[in-house]
């Protein structure tokens, strides 16, 4: 039952990744298409444009959510692959906790930049 729940979350996070990454790709790289629909995105990849977006909570939230979904999706997939190779229950527990610890550290590190930019701090 537990593995079914984890697999369901794997599918759900894949859907969220596709949606959030689609939003990111359209805004960042398809300015001609957005111009066709009347949305003015001038130089979305320029430094000034990025800093302007970073000051908006919606973008920080989008990137933090994308980070969370990608980390879960990737690390749960990696865990599943590793556990196919390691049959022991002790190994399963060790692998699970190492992956959870790595995920927490990566999430904390990855959220620093959007939150610092949202707060208006200089990154150094």
CATH number at residue 6: 1.20.1300
In a domain, residue 44? The reply is yes
- Domain membership of residue 107 (yes or no) is yes
Angle at 23 between CA 103 and CA 108, to 5 degrees: 20
pLDDT for 45 = 66
Q: Contact 102/75 with Cβ under 8 angstroms?
A: yes
pLDDT at 124 over 60: no
Is residue 95, in this structure, part of any structural domain at all?
yes
Q: Is 38 left (phi over 0), alpha (psi -120 to 50) or beta?
A: left
Structural domain that includes position 85: 2-118
* Number of structural domains found in the chain: 1
Tell me, yes or no, whether 124 lies in a domain. no
Whether 49 is in a domain gets the answer yes
Closest CA to 63 of 24, 9, 106: 24
Residues 6+ apart with CB under 8 A from 55: 117, 118, 120
Ranked by mean pLDDT, the top range of 31-40, 81-90, 115-124 is: 81-90
Give the model's confidence band at 116: pLDDT under 50 very low, under 70 low, under 90 confident, else very high: confident
pTM for the structure as a whole: 0.79
Angle, in degrees to the nearest 10, between helices 47-54 and 89-118: 100
Domain membership flag for residue 103 = yes
Q: Indicate whether 83 belongs to any domain.
A: yes
- For 97, what's the count of Cα atoms within 13 Å in the CB-facing half-sphere? 5
| In-domain check, residue 43 | yes
Task: Please report which confidence band the pLDDT of residue 56 belongs to, taking 50, 70 and 90 as the band edges.
Answer: confident
Tally of residues, the chain: 124
């Amino acid at each position: 039952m537990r593995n079914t729940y984890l697999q369901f979350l794997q599918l759900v996070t894949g859907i969220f990744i596709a949606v959030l990454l689609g939003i990111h790709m359209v805004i960042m790289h398809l300015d001609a298409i957005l111009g066709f629909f009347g949305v003015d995105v001038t130089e979305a990849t320029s430094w000034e444009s990025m800093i302007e977006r970073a000051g908006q909570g919606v973008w920080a939230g989008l990137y933090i959510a994308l980070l969370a979904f990608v980390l879960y999706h990737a690390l749960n997939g990696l865990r599943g692959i590793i556990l196919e190779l390691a049959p022991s229950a002790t190994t399963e527990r060790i692998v699970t906790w190492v992956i959870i610890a790595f995920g927490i550290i990566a999430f904390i590190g990855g959220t620093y930049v959007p939150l610092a930019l949202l707060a208006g701090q200089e990154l150094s």
